[in-house]
Structure 1
Amino acid sequence: MLNTWNDIPTTVRDGEELPVDILQSYLQQFFTNKGDLKITQFPSGYSNLTYLLQWGNTEYVLRRPPIGANIKSGHDMKREYDILTALKPNYGKVPDPKHYCQDETILGCPFYLMERVEGVILRANMPTEMTPSPALMQGISNSFVDTFVHLHQLNVNDIGLGDFGKPEGYMQRQIGGWTKRYFKSKTDEIPRIEAAAQWLGGNMPKEPTNYSLIHNDFKYDNLVLDSQDWTKVNAVLDWEMATIGNPLMDLGTTLGYWVNPNDPDFMKQLNLTPSHLPGNLSREEVVHLYSLKSGHVVGPIIFYYVYGLFKIAVIVQQIYFRYKKGFTQDPRFEKLIDGVKLLGEIANQAISKKRLDNLF
């Protein structure tokens, strides 16, 4: 399989084009590349827009906020750039940041450039012939947990991110914040989602003291795997929601994306991540391995799982809201409301049955 399945860009989507001449003229102030700038787009993301810039013999990746987004609230390019700058010499598994631009006259928003890390990205809708064998998938899932634990074990003060977030009261702010975001972007009546929000607000455990840097969107399609050995993680992408906080809430978000190989087909149809493939750990096994390798006592894991499901539902709802308002024409967004409804059902099953696996 090797590099046959390396992640590659495609033609830029309508309405998401970049002004090539203006961008090249700006970048020539900072780079010595020769030749014409060529731009394609990585099509799979649902949030920040990601492009490949081919310029002479060098390739860069450009990240910018999505069209119609509130840039100050959840798409801070400078913040993401600063995270990569701190992590590159200390964590290693991130692209090397190259340039940040705050001048909104160039693209209409801030943006940044980073190196392109080539490799394989596993997605829920990958071609059948790309699917790893169960044995390989098991190795990949173990590396997934190892990389996750390594991130949570970083000393934020040692790497210069000690003042990057406000960990005290993090849990309460998150539950309150995501609940407010849901109602602000609400388009349909979904009682199960509102019930999950109410349950979370009334069942918050005691705040832990072992805060760490958390990714907040750690899943398979944010990992770049080595094309020569898919069990090696070359880079972790999409740090837009990273902060300092409760690592178990980070784990909960990951569990929210995680669909077990033996989950019913309607759960697999969410297409959140290829964790449903044979060889993957179950949600219970992810928690056990994480606890074993990190030394963290996971505590009330159902709370964190329901939090993850609710948070993902709100993110999907926000994207669907932008689609309904006409801020994006991406046809992938048309049916997202069905995913919000299903995530609400799963959350209520976890609450009712008090377990992570075998929910239906």
Structure 2
Amino acid sequence: MASDRPAAASAVRKGDELDWATIGRWLRGEVPELSGPLNVLQFPHGRANLTYLIEIGGTRLVLRRPPFGKIAPGAHDMGREFKVLSRLWRSYDRAPRAYAFTDDHSIAGADCFVMEYRDGAVIRDVLPDELRGQPDLGRRLMFGVVDAMADLHLVDPDECDLGDLGRPEGFVARQVSGWARRWELSAPEGGTAAEAMAQVGERLAATLPATQSDGIVHNDLKIDNCQYDLGDPDRVKSVFDWDMATLGDPLVDLGTLLNYVPDASDPPELQGAVRYPPELELPSRDEVAARYAERTGTDVGGVTWYLAFAKWKTATVYQQLANRALAGDSRNEHNAELSGIVPALARVADALLDELP
């Protein structure tokens, strides 16, 4: 790989190797203009899907495939992600363009797709040097995510041939029932966490909010699924991880983002659970919700339910990732620790539901 490789990419983790010769032949067949030797690096920061940087000659592409091992029903849907990214880029410039998809598992061991590579920075626990010293940086970065979310929700799905991406009617109810089933499949036997999670699921189902509008829902839009141009911290350049995208209630996305905004009221187990550079001063959850309301005209007065749902859903995802790590299906050593956060997330979700009128 060239010496100017992206700072976020590194050597492929042991155990995450694929059949690169076969992948190279497939890619050259799908994108005939590609020529030259194939080199591969990996973007190692994601907790689930495997993402690789592929260079053929002077062309860089990104390959995505699900993690190894048992996959939860409906999760890591590469076909869905390809469908979204092969169409959405026409109406939403923050969506990278996808070029090729295959469900032939002899190529990469699972469904996979290839999309364009974009250069830029993803903000995690270390701030890029180029952004240091920028005034009010935390607020600018976070409001950039809010604006990217608002612009997505204002896209007409039919204009980019995504009107069949999902069934908006009954979306929120299906989200609750679907994640309840995922929890049942991943829950540890016995213990207070299992009881608390089941109780929160029942309370969410009994207090479903009325949907104000429908739109394209990303389903995991947060700051480290976004990319910035280092010269423009006010605007998100790219949004990644579209494998759960669908049509439905956009406030589900807002609840997800609020879940990832740190708050002093969070219990100790949740402090630091989301990675941000420590020097960033971020806006409050109320400020994030107000920015979204200003950009979209949406009434966010009932967003507490959506935040509670996001906490509960995140707890389920953490348990799934912990189970994969304990089963030896994940090479991310930190995932095994995530089950310890589940009880705190369940308690916070339950307390948020107490605030509903």
What is the TM-score when the length of structure 1 is the normalising length? 0.89
Map of 1:110 onto structure 2: 111
- What is the alpha-carbon distance in structure 1 between the residues aligned to residue 96 and residue 253 of structure 2? 21
- What is the alpha-carbon distance in structure 2 between the residues aligned to residue 72 and residue 314 of structure 1? 13
Q: Is residue 6–residue 121 contact of structure 1 (8 Å, CA) maintained in 2?
A: no
Q: Is residue 267–residue 344 contact of structure 2 (8 Å, CA) maintained in 1?
A: no
Map of 2:229 onto structure 1: 226
Q: Deviations over 1:76-112 (max 9, x none)?
A: 2121111012211110111121211222111121111
Q: Deviations over 1:279-303 (max 9, x none)?
A: 3211111111111221111242211
Map of 2:26 onto structure 1: 26
Q: Of the candidates 267, 272, 290, which is equivalent to residue 269 of structure 1?
A: 272
Identify if the C-alpha distance between structure 1 residues 255 and 275 changes in structure 2 by more than 3 Å, giving closer, same or farther: farther
Identify if the C-alpha distance between structure 1 residues 181 and 263 changes in structure 2 by more than 3 Å, giving closer, same or farther: closer
Alpha-carbon distance, 1:175 to partner: 0.6
- What is the alpha-carbon distance in structure 2 between the residues aligned to residue 36 and residue 6 of structure 1? 18
1:238 equivalent in alignment to 2:235? no
- What is the alpha-carbon distance in structure 1 between the residues aligned to residue 6 and residue 356 of structure 2? 40
- What is the alpha-carbon distance in structure 1 between the residues aligned to residue 277 and residue 296 of structure 2? 21
Q: Is residue 94–residue 237 contact of structure 2 (8 Å, CA) maintained in 1?
A: yes
Identify if the C-alpha distance between structure 1 residues 294 and 59 changes in structure 2 by more than 3 Å, giving closer, same or farther: same
SS of residue paired to 1:289: helix
| Residue type of the alignment partner of 2:81 | E
| Residue type of the alignment partner of 1:58 | T
Identify if the C-alpha distance between structure 1 residues 112 and 47 changes in structure 2 by more than 3 Å, giving closer, same or farther: same
Identify if the C-alpha distance between structure 1 residues 32 and 278 changes in structure 2 by more than 3 Å, giving closer, same or farther: closer
> What are structure 2's unaligned runs of at least 5 residues?
none
- What is the alpha-carbon distance in structure 1 between the residues aligned to residue 128 and residue 340 of structure 2? 25
Q: How does 1:5-84 map to 2 (within 5 A)?
A: 7-30=7-30, 31-70=32-71, 73-84=74-85
Does 107-116 or 291-300 show the bigger shift?
291-300
Map of 2:123 onto structure 1: 122
Q: Is residue 101–residue 110 contact of structure 1 (8 Å, CA) maintained in 2?
A: yes
> What are structure 1's unaligned runs of at least 5 residues?
356-360
Map of 1:341 onto structure 2: 343
SS of residue paired to 2:163: coil
Alpha-carbon distance, 1:348 to partner: 2.7
Q: Deviations over 1:145-202 (max 9, x none)?
A: 1111100011112221111101111111111110110111012520433332222122
Q: Is residue 40–residue 53 contact of structure 1 (8 Å, CA) maintained in 2?
A: yes
- What is the alpha-carbon distance in structure 2 between the residues aligned to residue 263 and residue 299 of structure 1? 21
Aligned sequence identity (%): 31
Alpha-carbon distance, 1:251 to partner: 1.1
Identify if the C-alpha distance between structure 1 residues 174 and 72 changes in structure 2 by more than 3 Å, giving closer, same or farther: closer
Q: Deviations over 1:242-261 (max 9, x none)?
A: 00000111211111222137
Map of 1:358 onto structure 2: none
Q: Deviations over 1:208-265 (max 9, x none)?
A: 2511001000000011100222222111000011000001112111112221377565
Q: Is residue 84–residue 94 contact of structure 1 (8 Å, CA) maintained in 2?
A: yes
Q: Is residue 258–residue 276 contact of structure 1 (8 Å, CA) maintained in 2?
A: no
- What is the alpha-carbon distance in structure 2 between the residues aligned to residue 80 and residue 204 of structure 1? 27
Does 337-346 or 159-168 show the bigger shift?
337-346
| Residue type of the alignment partner of 2:215 | S
Q: Is residue 80–residue 243 contact of structure 2 (8 Å, CA) maintained in 1?
A: yes
Q: Is residue 256–residue 308 contact of structure 1 (8 Å, CA) maintained in 2?
A: yes
Q: Is residue 85–residue 95 contact of structure 2 (8 Å, CA) maintained in 1?
A: yes
Map of 1:136 onto structure 2: 137
